[in-house]
Amino acid sequence: MKVKIFGVLSLVIIVIGITVFATAEDPAVSLSYLTEIFLPKVEKQISDSSVFQVVELSAGEKFVGGVGCEVILRSGKATAIISANGGLTDVTGGTDLKEKEEIPQNHLLIIPRDDGRGFVSATKSFIMVKGNYTITK
């Protein structure tokens, strides 16, 4: 019962605070913040994730893709890293790449889950990538 009362009081204090300090010209979340800061960041993230970016990898670097990540090895050599859930989806070849299998150049690969799948670059490599990913040594 005390938790409910505390929750209701907290909500009332927040509502009162917003109504006291927010005005039509400057609401609690200002229109200028939304239009000048928030929306441009969201639009940039959406546009960045919808186009391929060129990324350079050094020999020994590990690329791990997030869910839905698309990647194309343009130059260099790399070997697949898989997970317990499966391999890398090679859309171009119509296959599932296995652990330490060489990544074919110019094939579109898709990472189906955020579970550690990716590849290790054996040489200096260039990739095209769309979506979330991490690169580690």
Domain boundaries of the chain, sorted by first residue:
2-49, 53-136
pLDDT reported for residue 3: 47
C-alpha distances (whole Å) from 55 to each of 33, 113, 136 are 32, 21, 13
Task: Give all strands of the β-sheet with 70-75 in edge-to-edge order.
Answer: 53-57, 125-130, 70-75, 108-110, 88-90, 95-97
pLDDT for the residue 27: 64
Q: Quick one: pLDDT at residue 100?
A: 97
Amino acid at 104: P
Tell the residue number behind the tokens 């391929």, with chain if given.
Answer: 52
For the chain, the average pLDDT equals 85
Which residue's structure tokens are 């239009």? 35
Q: Are 70 and 130 in contact (CB under 8 A)?
A: yes
pTM, two decimals, is 0.67
> 7-62, pLDDT tens digit by residue?
555 555 555 555 555 566 666 677 788 788 877 877 776 666 678 999 999 999 99
Topology of domain 53-136 in CATH is: Jelly Rolls (2.60.120)
